[in-house]
Amino acid sequence: MKGRHEIRVVSRKTVYRLELERKVSVIKGNSGTGKSSLIRLISEYLEFGKKSGIKINVDSSASLGVLTNSSEWEKILSSVHDTVLFVDEDVDYIYSDSFQKELWKADCYAVIVSRSGGFTGIPYSISGIYEFVTEKKDENTITSMYRLYGEEHRSGDFETVLTEDSNSGFEMAKYAFDYGGTEVLAAGGNASVLGVLIKNWKPDGQICVNVDGAAFGAFIEAVLKFAEIKGNILVSAPESFEFVILNFSDVKKHLSSDCGELIRTYDYCDGCEYSSWEQYYENLLAGVTSEHFGFTYNKRKLNPRFKNRKCAEQYVNLLCQSFVRRREQEKA
């Protein structure tokens, strides 16, 4: 399943508007913000149809489903096709490794209501984390989903750079920041970033933490909270290191004319084939380098073709355009 899917759920005085473009969307927020009410409305519509008094409009051929504690989720995930599944955080099996593993094989999108977002077995994106914002319009309540985290551009003068990646991404950082005594460290995986950051934090100088945004959703909240407490930590989260390389001018020119692969990845990345956009970008970059550069990109070792000052400058610039901040309650 791929593409962007717009869903509108209308009850007597309540309207929900959703736009989904990734395999997994996680909706956070405090109690009383309408998260569970949305799932209840969809459940009632699926059970009673027009008699429920609820209207649902989907701008695509996708169908909707709701997972509950009584659902035979194994059977559902193995049989769904072009389906958006909604599931509340009180459904106990969504925290199991087996469910999270099978979800990635299913031909579906999933909308998971969860205040914690602690699904470490699901490589979901920072950009796939939302909150509900409600506004009154006449006698109706309109609830829309907005990204919880936005991006901002900051300077690139760092005392320490910590990369999630310990392979090619770490090599690029070492090359790009090899000046003025900048220390470059590798965490060795997304689950290790916070621990390595805590261990190596220093009160002096600015620290840049570089993570792969496409698969860091389960960990971003804890890292940002630590960054806010310490005050001298910035978190840069481009989709992935491969996404950064694909944006290098010498590589980007080999993509489609409008670079839709990077701008509208949801139209290209099939969730049945790739576990995350990060995996799609890796496969895309391997194909481009093989066809146009005489080598095949390898995540474990950075090819010398990218170890030059032009690439280093573009790398640093892209990192500095991708710093993450928690959005204020505003329209995205």
Write down the pLDDT at residue 331. 41
Write down the pLDDT at residue 121. 85
Write down the pLDDT at residue 47. 95
In a domain, 332, yes or no: no
Write down the pLDDT at residue 330. 46
- The amino acid present at 296, given as its one-letter code, is T
Of 88, 115, 147, the domain-final residue? 147
Strand partners, 184: 161
**Is pTM beyond 0.85 here?**
yes
Whether residue 77 sits in one domain with residue 47: yes
In a domain, 263, yes or no: yes
Write down the pLDDT at residue 41. 95
Scan for tokens 């309650």, then name that residue: 329
CA distance 13 to 221: 33
- The backbone torsions φ and ψ at residue 184, rounded to the nearest 5 degrees and listed phi first, read -115, 125
What's the CA dihedral at 182, 186, 191, 196 to 10 degrees?
-60
Whether residue 171 sits in one domain with residue 102: no
Scan for tokens 């990218």, then name that residue: 306
Whether residue 62 sits in one domain with residue 207: no
Write down the pLDDT at residue 34. 82
- The backbone torsions φ and ψ at residue 288, rounded to the nearest 5 degrees and listed phi first, read -65, -45
CB atoms within 10 A of CB 330: 8
User: Which tokens is 152 given?
Assistant: 């901002």
By CB atoms closer than 10 A (0-12, 13-18, 19+), residue 250 is middle
Of 109, 131, 147, the domain-final residue? 147
Whether residue 220 sits in one domain with residue 73: no
Whether residue 223 sits in one domain with residue 195: yes
Helix orientation angle between 309-320 and 168-176, rounded to the nearest 10 degrees: 100
Residue 134: strand, helix, or coil: strand
Write down the pLDDT at residue 154. 85
Over its C-alpha atoms, the chain yields an Rg (Å, rounded) of 21
In a domain, 331, yes or no: no
Please give the helix or strand (H or E) that residue 325 lies within, else none. strand 323-326
Q: Are 286 and 251 in contact (CB under 8 A)?
A: no
Give, for all 332 residues of the chain, the pLDDT tens digit.
Answer: 999 999 999 998 899 999 999 999 999 987 777 888 999 999 999 999 999 999 999 998 999 999 999 889 999 999 999 999 999 988 999 989 999 989 988 999 999 998 888 888 888 999 999 999 988 877 788 999 999 999 988 887 899 999 999 999 999 999 999 877 899 999 999 999 999 999 999 999 999 999 999 999 999 999 999 999 999 999 999 999 999 999 999 999 999 999 999 999 999 999 989 989 999 999 999 999 999 999 999 999 999 999 999 999 999 999 999 999 998 744 43
Whether residue 159 sits in one domain with residue 114: no
Q: Are 283 and 289 in contact (CB under 8 A)?
A: no
| Alpha helices per DSSP H over 122-259 | 168-176, 193-200, 220-230, 241-246, 249-252
Q: Which range marks the domain in which residue 75 is found?
A: 5-147
Considering its fold, how many domains does the chain have in total? 2
Write down the pLDDT at residue 292. 98
Of 126, 147, 168, the domain-final residue? 147
User: Which tokens is 100 given?
Assistant: 């999270």
Write down the pLDDT at residue 332. 39
